[in-house]
Structure 1
Amino acid sequence: MSDLASIVKAYDVRGTVPDQLNPEVARALGAAFVQVLAADAPVHQIIVGYDMRPSSPELAAAFALGATALGVDVVDAGLCSTDELYFGSGFLGLPGVMLTASHNPAQYNGLKMCRSGAKPIGQDSGLRAIRDAAQAILDSGEYPQLHGRSGEVRQQDLLADYAAHLRNLVDLSRIRPLKVVVDAGNGMAGHTVPAVLGEGSGLPIDLVPMYFELDGTFPNHEANPLEPANLVDLQAKVRETGADIGLAFDGDADRCFVIDGFGDPVSPSAVTALVASRELAKNPGATIIHNLITSKAVPEIVSERGGIPVRTRVGHSFIKEEMARSGAVFGGEHSAHYYFRSFWGADTGMLAAMHVLAALGESEVPLAELGREYERYVSSGEINSTVADAAGKIAQLVSVYHKAEQDTLDGLTITFADGAWLNVRPSNTEPLLRLNVEAPTAERMAEVRDEALAIIRG
Structure 2
Amino acid sequence: MTDLTGLIKAYDVRGIVGEQLTEEIARAIGAAFADTIVTPEGETSVVIGHDMRDSGPGLVNAVTSGLRDRGVDVVSIGLCSTDGLYHATGALDMPGVMVTASHNPAAYNGMKLCRSRARAVGENTGLGLVRELATRYVDEGVPSVEAPGSASDREMLREYGEFLRSLVPLDAIRPLKVVVDAGNAMAGHTVPAVLGEAAGLPGLPLEIVPLYFELDGTFPNHEPNPLEEKNLVDLQAAVVEHGADLGLAFDGDADRCFVVDEKGAIVRASAITALVGLREAARVRASGGDATVIYNVISSKAVPELLTADGIATVRSRVGHSFIKAQMAEHDAVFGGEHSAHFYFRDFFYADSGMLAALHVMAALGAQDGPLSAMLADYDPYTASGEINSTVADVAAALDRIREAFGSRDAVTLDEMDGLTVQHWDAEPRWWFNVRPSGTEPLLRLNVEAADAATMEDVRDQALAIIRES
What is the TM-score when the length of structure 1 is the normalising length? Answer: 0.98
Aligned to 2:379, the other structure's residue is in SS state coil
Task: Provide structure 1 residue ranges, at least 5 long, that are not aligned to the other structure.
Answer: none
> Offset at 1:40?
3.4
Aligned to 2:294, the other structure's residue is in SS state strand
Partner Cα distance (1:134, 1:144) in 2: 14
The one-letter code sitting in structure 1 at the alignment partner of 2:338 is: E
The one-letter code sitting in structure 2 at the alignment partner of 1:83 is: D
Corresponding residue number in structure 2 for 1:106: 106
Corresponding residue number in structure 1 for 2:439: 428
Corresponding residue number in structure 1 for 2:413: 405
Partner Cα distance (2:159, 2:39) in 1: 31
C-alpha contact (below 8 Å) 2:60/2:99 kept by paired residues: yes
Corresponding residue number in structure 2 for 1:440: 451
Corresponding residue number in structure 1 for 2:260: 259
Partner Cα distance (2:339, 2:69) in 1: 41
> Offset at 1:280?
1.2
Partner Cα distance (2:65, 2:377) in 1: 51
Question: Is it true that 1:55 corresponds to 2:55 in the alignment?
Answer: yes
Partner Cα distance (2:295, 2:142) in 1: 44
> Offset at 1:2?
4.2
Question: Is it true that 1:81 corresponds to 2:81 in the alignment?
Answer: yes
Partner Cα distance (1:82, 1:402) in 2: 42
Aligned to 1:6, the other structure's residue is in SS state coil
The equivalences for 1:307-322 within 5 A come to 307-322=312-327
Question: Is it true that 1:158 corresponds to 2:156 in the alignment?
Answer: yes
C-alpha contact (below 8 Å) 2:38/2:95 kept by paired residues: no
Corresponding residue number in structure 2 for 1:452: 463
The one-letter code sitting in structure 1 at the alignment partner of 2:240 is: R
Partner Cα distance (2:143, 2:385) in 1: 50
Task: Provide structure 2 residue ranges, at least 5 long, that are not aligned to the other structure.
Answer: none
> Offset at 1:109?
0.4
Corresponding residue number in structure 2 for 1:272: 273
Partner Cα distance (2:253, 2:6) in 1: 22
> CA 1:39 to 1:58, structure 2 compared with 1: closer, same or farther past 3 Å?
closer
The equivalences for 1:193-208 within 5 A come to 193-199=191-197, 200-208=201-209
C-alpha contact (below 8 Å) 2:296/2:319 kept by paired residues: yes
Aligned to 2:417, the other structure's residue is in SS state coil
The one-letter code sitting in structure 2 at the alignment partner of 1:444 is: T
Partner Cα distance (1:114, 1:38) in 2: 10
C-alpha contact (below 8 Å) 1:74/1:152 kept by paired residues: yes
The equivalences for 1:31-430 within 5 A come to 31-38=31-38, 40-143=40-143, 145=145, 148-199=146-197, 200-284=201-285, 285-403=290-408, 404-416=412-424, 417-418=427-428, 419-430=430-441
1:309-341 CA-to-partner distances (Å, cap 9, x unmatched) read 100000000000111111000000000000000
The one-letter code sitting in structure 1 at the alignment partner of 2:166 is: N
1:266-301 CA-to-partner distances (Å, cap 9, x unmatched) read 000000000001011112231100001000000111
Partner Cα distance (1:122, 1:315) in 2: 10
Aligned to 1:130, the other structure's residue is in SS state helix
**Structure 1 runs of 4+ off > 6 angstroms?**
none
> Offset at 1:359?
0.5
1:352-377 CA-to-partner distances (Å, cap 9, x unmatched) read 00000000000111001111121121
Partner Cα distance (1:339, 1:348) in 2: 6
What is the TM-score when the length of structure 2 is the normalising length? Answer: 0.96
1:421-441 CA-to-partner distances (Å, cap 9, x unmatched) read 010000001110000000000
The one-letter code sitting in structure 2 at the alignment partner of 1:298 is: V
The one-letter code sitting in structure 2 at the alignment partner of 1:87 is: H
> CA 1:212 to 1:375, structure 2 compared with 1: closer, same or farther past 3 Å?
same
Partner Cα distance (1:211, 1:156) in 2: 27
1:74-109 CA-to-partner distances (Å, cap 9, x unmatched) read 000100000000000011100000000000000000
Partner Cα distance (2:324, 2:142) in 1: 37
1:201-243 CA-to-partner distances (Å, cap 9, x unmatched) read 3110001111011110001100000001100111111010000
Aligned to 1:401, the other structure's residue is in SS state helix
The one-letter code sitting in structure 1 at the alignment partner of 2:100 is: T
> Offset at 1:178?
0.1
1:102-122 CA-to-partner distances (Å, cap 9, x unmatched) read 000000000000001100000
1:126-146 CA-to-partner distances (Å, cap 9, x unmatched) read 00000001101111114254x
Report how many aligned residue pairs link the two structures. 456
CA RMSD of the aligned region, Å?
1.0
C-alpha contact (below 8 Å) 2:28/2:142 kept by paired residues: no
Partner Cα distance (1:222, 1:201) in 2: 32
> Offset at 1:43?
2.3
C-alpha contact (below 8 Å) 1:280/1:306 kept by paired residues: no
